[in-house]
Structure 1
Amino acid sequence: MRESFPLIIIPVISFIAAFIFASLVEYWVHRLMHRSLRFGKRHRDHHRRNEGQGVVWEFFDYLKGTIVIMCLPFLISLPIGIGWCLGSLVYAAFSAYAHQLQHENPTKCFWMKMPVHYVHHKHNQWHHNFGLGVDWWDFVFKTYQPVDWLSEEELKQPPRDYLQLRWW
């Protein structure tokens, strides 16, 4: 029993570390998209359209951008690599879902006091509220800007559940 303890705990710690690190990378990449003309071209188009690509396509975009970082910990050890890769994948899926949800049904983002990405778009905030899946880093780096976001527009939306959004 004691010998198997580290085999269980190491992937769990690696999973949690990858999840947190992925949220930090997402935050900074989003901020960079607002500063760089070249890097942010596609993102500016996203702001003009104010819609997500669908959960699956968002997920694939996140994977394309991070696949190398997801696999590097396998060079350290198999348990660390498995935990890191799974944590990264879970965060990518969660973030893709959260991004689409905030575009289509922001009142369902129960894990945040305010759906920061929705507010980021609604109020054209180019210097605030960069989180997609979580708002932690906006607090840490002082880019969180609270607004009274629940208006008639949001309250008039027909009730939908958590899975009623664009997947493709």
Structure 2
Amino acid sequence: MTPLAKLAVGTACFAVAFVLASLVEYWLHRLMHVSPRIGERHRDHHRRNEGQGVVWEFRDYVKGSCLVMFLLFFYSLAAGIGWFLGGLTYAAFSAYAHQLQHENPTKCFWMKMPVHYVHHKYGMWHHNFGLAVDWWDRVFGTYKPVEWLTEEELEQPKRGYLQLRWW
């Protein structure tokens, strides 16, 4: 395989892994809302309404998907590297986005409405399951728009994109 073909395979695998990771995250979050056994820790998260910190969220996401992240190495090195990096990148992005929505939701510029933030704020047990993206809520009909930008959000102190709990 030529170097360009390897790059194309790696890039395609990266993109597919990134999108697939977002889909898995969406469905696991939905599952946590219907399964008493699987959702026990998640219900505590709703009671506290806070993230664990970016690093600890990232650790949990990677721990939960570690085996799958190595699967494509059995196909080829290029596919394995792309797949692994796509999954790892989504885990990092999701961990950051999750913490950001708990601490500074107005900074989620890539979504019209920070779905995870409103999921918590309005006790939406059946809507807005996305953590980092809202694509799957829109695809599966669980996206529920609300006027979320209220005095509470507008009066929060101005902070940067990196001013949040990392540990």
- Tell me the equivalent position of 1:131: 130
Map of 2:107 onto structure 1 = 108
Aligned partner of 1:14 in structure 2 is: 13
User: Is 2:152 the counterpart of 1:153?
Assistant: yes
- TM (norm. structure 2) is 0.99
Task: Name the structure 1 match of 2:75.
Answer: 76
Stretches of structure 1 that go unaligned for 5 or more consecutive residues are: none
Q: For 1:83 and 1:111, how far apart are their aligned partners in 2?
A: 24
1:25 to 2:29 alignment: no
Give the fraction of aligned pairs with identical amino acids, expressed as a percent. 71
Question: What CA deviation, in whole Å up to 9, does each residue of 1:42-84 have, x standing for no partner?
Answer: 0000000000000000000001100011011111111100000
Structure-1 separation of matches of 2:69 and 2:84: 5
Cα distance in 2 for partners of 1:19, 1:108 equals: 21
Deviation at 1:4, TM superposition (A): 2.0
Q: Partners of 2:34 and 2:133 in 1: how far apart?
A: 21
Post-superposition offset of 1:108: 0.1
Residue 14 of structure 1: CA displacement? 0.3
Output the TM-score relative to the length of structure 1. Answer: 0.98
| Worse overlay, 70-79 or 157-166 | 70-79
The count of aligned residue pairs is: 167
Q: Hey, what's the Cα distance between the residues in 1 that align with 2:166 and 2:80? A: 29
- Residue identity in the other structure for 1:40: G
> 2:45 corresponds to which residue?
46
Q: 2:48 is matched by which residue type in structure 1? A: R
Give, in whole Å, the separation in 2 of the partners of 1:84 and 1:76. Answer: 11
Q: Which runs of 5+ in 2 are unaligned?
A: none
Alpha-carbon displacement from aligned partner over 1:19-53 (angstroms, at most 9, x marks no partner): 00000000000000000000000000000000000
Q: Which amino acid aligns with 2:127?
A: H
